[in-house]
């Protein structure tokens, strides 16, 4: 990709999920960047689905993410809120459907029992340790969350602090943090 095309792409976000004990949260920063310009600092990249039983966060193009949220919600309705089955079916569609294949986004999803990463390549990945992160600052947030996991901090505190650390390292991530948790 040449530099001119790169400047026209939307970049940046960091989303992290922490599952510890009976609690699970997904948190994201609020920055939307176009090239080297911050277009919005307080975007909401996390949301609750299925009457609060599923939480999700996205990294990538916003319109694409909204399409995926809608599709996931349809799958959850179709498969009686079975998150794993709904995500596998969404990933199949995402990989094979001509329209969905063009969507540029990744998602973290969680319910009371399972946490998953979804990608457009058909991946449905479950983390071994209850921690996952995506986006431009995802590796920073994941490393920070892992470092704090064995402390007495609650999932919400770990997610918040890991995003704050990522915002100090990744220019496409800010510290305007929004969190969703299973209620």
- What is the secondary structure of 39-51 as a DSSP string? EES----EEEEGG
CA distances from 126 to 9, 40, 159 (A): 29, 31, 18
User: Catalytic residue at 13?
Assistant: yes
Residue 24: which H helix or E strand, with range? strand 23-28
Rg (CA), the chain: 16
Give the residue carrying structure tokens 């089955």.
85
Tokens coding 83: 């998150």
Q: Out of 13, 14, 33, 173, which one is annotated catalytic?
A: 13
Whether 30 and 41 have beta carbons less than 8 Å apart is answered as yes
CA 54 from centroid of its chain's CA atoms? 13
Which residues are CB-contacts of 16 (< 8 A; sequence separation ≥ 6)? 26, 27, 28, 108, 131, 132, 133, 138, 141, 142, 145, 159, 162, 163, 166
**Residue 85, H or E segment:** helix 83-96
Q: Which residues are catalytic?
A: 13
């Amino acid at each position: 990709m040449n530099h001119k095309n790169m400047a026209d792409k939307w970049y940046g976000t960091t989303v992290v999920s922490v599952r510890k004990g009976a609690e699970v949260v997904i948190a994201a920063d609020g920055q939307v960047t176009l090239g080297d310009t911050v277009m919005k600092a307080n975007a909401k990249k996390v949301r609750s689905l299925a009457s609060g039983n599923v939480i999700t966060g996205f990294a990538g193009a916003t319109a694409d993410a909204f399409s995926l949220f809608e599709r996931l919600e349809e799958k959850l309705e179709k498969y009686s809120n079975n998150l794993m089955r709904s995500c596998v079916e969404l990933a199949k569609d995402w990989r094979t459907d001509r329209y969905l294949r063009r969507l540029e986004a990744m998602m973290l999803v969680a319910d009371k029992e399972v946490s998953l990463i979804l990608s457009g390549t058909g991946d449905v990945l479950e983390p071994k340790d209850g921690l996952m992160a995506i986006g431009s600052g995802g590796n920073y947030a994941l490393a920070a969350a892992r470092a704090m996991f064995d402390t007495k901090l609650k999932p919400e505190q770990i997610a918040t602090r890991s995003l704050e650390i990522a915002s100090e390292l990744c220019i496409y991530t800010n510290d305007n943090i929004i969190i969703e948790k299973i209620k």
